[in-house]
Amino acid sequence: MTDPIVTPKWVLARMYEPDLVIVDCRFTLGRPDAGREAYAASHIPGAVFLDLEADLSAPVREHGGRHPLPAPEQLAARLSRAGIGNAHRVVAYDDQGGMYAARLWWLLRWLGHDDVYVMDGEFAAWQAGGFPVTDAQRTAVPAAFVLNVRDELIADVDQVRRALGDPGVLLVDSREASRYAGVQEPIDAKAGHIPGAVNRFWKDVLDDQGRWKAEAALREQLTPVIRALDDGRDAVVYCGSGVSACPNVLALYRLGYPQAKLYAGSWSDWISYENNPIAKGEER
């Protein structure tokens, strides 16, 4: 299995190869224009920009969470307009530890496209390396993107409900510990977590320099999830809106567990149903 995490030097060596599409995924929650403005000011030469909310999510409705999954056909059309087709390799970067880049990585896998990578160390590592940047925007040539949707990579709210109390399923909450425990909730309307979920904060897949941890450290961080998968159980990973769970799914993929599922609507979808139960504190 090819490692989906690549270094800035890897990108530099391949950035002008015609089958490589570099995607800038920078985004700031609460400042919807910040990513596009950062891209307009400076980005990796040849990169195209895809916005989390405008391009990689559907409009918010009553259910589906804060960043609902786009319809596969609509996402494929958007990727095609960005010059991404089935024959292309894709490498994504952001400035938030790989969280938004991992969202694109997961979306492409969901649509059946595996030749996709996340640049380690985000845009800051590219700049720190003294590599070229530009404000010139690439004119994308549309490419053919044929869908091969993998529904087995997704869990919806009904599947998560059935997972409650099911020893064959482990729920994994990717938010920081205080939000998981219900001590604070700065974003969503209700605090707490889905009953039975274990907490594995997504940022703990990164080291102190913001780079992806080595395999041994990742295994230690995700030990309960790995044990569950090794025992033949399912793992369903969620976060606040289906975005910051993606680095945990990516980490499991790197460790040889591509079967981990994403609850795409995540906590913000779960609490949109009045009767869904909520737990607080630590799980035993």
pLDDT of residue 283: 83
Kindly report whether the global pTM for this prediction surpasses the value 0.95: yes
Sorted by sequence, the CB contacts under 8 Å of residue 209 that are 6+ apart come out as: 121
Residue 113 makes CB contacts below 8 A (sequence gap 6+) with 86, 90, 145, 148
Residue 284: which pLDDT band, with cuts at 50, 70 and 90? low
CA 93/CA 127 separation, integer angstroms: 12
Quick one: pLDDT at residue 282?
85
All structural domains of the chain, each given as residue ranges with its CATH number in brackets, are: 5-128 (3.40.250.10), 151-270 (3.40.250.10)
- At residue 1, does pLDDT exceed 80? no
- Dihedral (Cα; 42, 47, 52, 56), 10-degree rounding: 170
List CB contacts of 1: < 8 A, sequence separation 6 or more.
Answer: 253, 256, 258
Contact at 8 Å (CB) between 182 and 188?
no
Interval 176-227: pLDDT, tens:
999 999 999 999 999 999 999 999 999 999 999 999 999 999 999 999 999 9
Residue 174 in tokens: 């990717």
Question: Mean pLDDT of all residues in the chain?
Answer: 96
User: Residue 138: which pLDDT band, with cuts at 50, 70 and 90?
Assistant: confident
Show which residues are catalytic: 239
User: Two tokens at 168?
Assistant: 């064959």
Tokens of 126: 């590219």
Q: Which two tokens stand for residue 13?
A: 């060596």
Q: CA torsion 213→93→23→17, rounded to 10°?
A: -60
The answer to whether the CB of 248 falls within 8 A of the CB of 174 is: yes
- What are the tens digits of pLDDT across the range 33-69? 999 999 999 999 999 999 999 999 999 999 999 999 9
- Token output for 40: 């307009």
pLDDT over 90 (residue 22): yes
**Tens of pLDDT along 266-283?**
999 999 999 999 999 988
